[in-house]
Amino acid sequence: MAGLYLRTFGLPVLLDDEGRAVPEIRRKDVALLVYLSVERDRRHARSQLATLLWGDTAEERARHSLTQSLRRIQQATGALVVGRDSVSWEGPLKSDLDVFTSESDEELSVYTRPFLDGFEAGLGAEDFQTWADATRAGLRARALRMLDERSAGSEKAGDWARALRLARRAADVDPLYESAHRRIMTALARAGERNAALQHFDEFSRWLAQEIGGSPDPDTMALAREIRVTEVASAPPPLRAGSPPPQDDHEAVLEPALRETRTQHHRKGWIAAGAVVAATTLVISFARDAGSIGTVETRPFPNVSGRSPLERTGMPCVAGSAVARFVRESYPDNVPLRPAEPFTKSWTLRNTGACEWDSRFFVRLEGGSGGRLSLTSPRLPLRRLVPPGDTYTVVVPMKAPTREGVHREDWSLRDAEGALVPVSSSNTIWAKVRVYVRPALPCTSADAVARFVGETVPDDTILVAGGRFTKRWTLRNGGSCAWHPGITLRRVTNPAPLSGDVHRVALADTVEPGENHTFEVAMRAPPVPGIAEEHWHLADASGETIRVAASKTIWVRVVVSPR
């Protein structure tokens, strides 16, 4: 495994020490290797992995395909622990993702393209694509947050050239992230290029109007007015507060998300054709390929010489004859968002009928509960023909309402006559999010919600007598209030056969809703062979138990063998 390098940004590939792709590794092998590398903190059931990538085949055949894939990966990398019923990551294996999630100065240098951009794992891998979309969203959110923070730092230092460079890159990553556009305008104005700042605003405004029928946020328009009426002075034009930079959490999900090709932004104008707007925050997504905002198809138009992309190639649908199947979405139900937080909802649908969807098809807002989410027209036409068997992705920029609670919006797919097109077993597709306000006080056991995510040293792991190990439990804050340092993980079992004198592990930082936290305890196997077990519980500041899912405790159980 020495010298191997796993590239995950852009098309994934396993490279040898000379930069060549390892030939034995196939497409689904790469997908499985990436998945196990990212989800390295837990052990995976073989049945789950088989469904992840071979979900369209019979169970026995899927397990056989998984076994062959694991064999090839293990021979090439030696990075796995393959058991009879489970698989776990052993590593180490160098990857660009490790660099990006480190605290080094190279974090952003490896982020050249979205995670697994343009990669298709093949038939039967819908669950993998859903996971990849959600992971891409979290990594993209991290990139935006880092760019935002570093741009702000450059502004504070008066380095306007660097602030402009970073803000433009953030706008490339997410064209709808208006905080980046305000930073661009501010940096240009402060550098004495007021006309360029106003030109950027005008071009951004036209782009929004053409692509989504929208307009800039009030803060962006107010900044443009100030630049127009105020001569550039020694102090920079105020950078008005907008939406907070997205928080990274690639496990929410959520959601799944869309692939996105990077929008190329030039100083003298937007090259908006072929750019797809992506989402922000917890499950912010990259658009799959190319398109424009709204009901933008995520694949480029077919490059067929002499034929328009809107020219018919199949049989048109008569009223009521079209059918669709749901494939995936970004921002699954009940994703937690902060008030007024922007995001982009997408639904990928497959034409499962025998006729062709044309540009007279449209998606329509049917209503909802709570506040309005979408920022577009309530009627969005399809932008290209969708032949039978092909997929189409509807993309709708949205913003969370300011009122706390659960908010939902329902949309439907309609044919040329306005007749409803059923999607799988439902008449609508929808966006459903939960808006929360950060509480001033810590969660208590009454309002805190914990979800089990994963663990190391799973039940009945065999250890030698006296062997040292570290047990880790990863839990998600699944509620609407924040966990503060008063929350602790406390040992219930007494005496302690494994943890010795350690009886409590406290939080060091706040864990916001939707975020994960890993508790770890250094342990040692008893000197006597047999089964050793300990139970721990999550408790609030007063010592009251916070249930983890439906259980009061989490535990560690190992089998101790003689030396």
Domain spans, the chain = 5-112, 136-266, 293-302+313-435, 450-561
CA distance 402 to 410: 19
**Can you give the pLDDT at residue 104?**
60
**Can you give the pLDDT at residue 307?**
35
Q: Which residue, 86, 90, 83, 85, is CA-closest to 44?
A: 86
Distances (CA, A) of 520 to 39, 471, 490, 504: 17, 6, 12, 10
Q: Is CATH 3.90.1150.10 what the domain over 293-302+313-435 is classified as, yes or no?
A: no
Q: Which residues pair with 489 in a beta bridge?
A: 505, 538
CB 7 within 8 A of CB 96: yes
CA distance 272 to 204: 10
Counting every residue written for the chain, the total comes to 563
**Can you give the pLDDT at residue 264?**
33
User: What angle in degrees, to the nearest 10, is found between the helix axes of 126-157 and 160-173?
Assistant: 160
Amino acid identity at 252: A
- What is 5-112's CATH number, 1.10.10.10, 1.20.120.530, 2.40.50.140, 3.30.70.150? 1.10.10.10
The low-confidence residues of the chain, meaning pLDDT below 50, are 232-235, 237-313
CA distance 339 to 73: 45
Residue 247 in 3-state DSSP?
Answer: coil
Residue 362 in 3-state DSSP?
Answer: strand
**Can you give the pLDDT at residue 439?**
56
Q: Which residues pair with 561 in a beta bridge?
A: 464
**Can you give the pLDDT at residue 321?**
86
**Can you give the pLDDT at residue 88?**
87
CA distance 510 to 442: 9
Radius of gyration of the chain (CA): 26
Distances (CA, A) of 260 to 14, 288, 291: 22, 5, 9
Amino acid identity at 460: D
Supply the mean pLDDT for the chain: 78
Q: ω before 495 within 30° of 0 (cis)?
A: yes
**Can you give the pLDDT at residue 106?**
62
The sign of the dihedral angle between the CA atoms of 236, 205, 300, 342 is positive
CB 114 within 8 A of CB 285: no
Q: What is the second-level CATH architecture of the domain 136-266?
A: Alpha Horseshoe (1.25)
Q: Which residues pair with 357 in a beta bridge?
A: 386
450-561 shares the fold of 136-266: no
Burial of 449 per CB tally in 10 Å (0-12, 13-18, 19+): middle
**Can you give the pLDDT at residue 103?**
61
Q: Which residue, 421, 411, 392, 415, is CA-closest to 323?
A: 421
Order the strands of the 468-477 sheet from edge to edge: 450-455, 468-477, 516-524
Looking at CATH, the fold of the domain delimited by 450-561 is given as: Immunoglobulin-like (2.60.40)
CB 411 within 8 A of CB 420: no
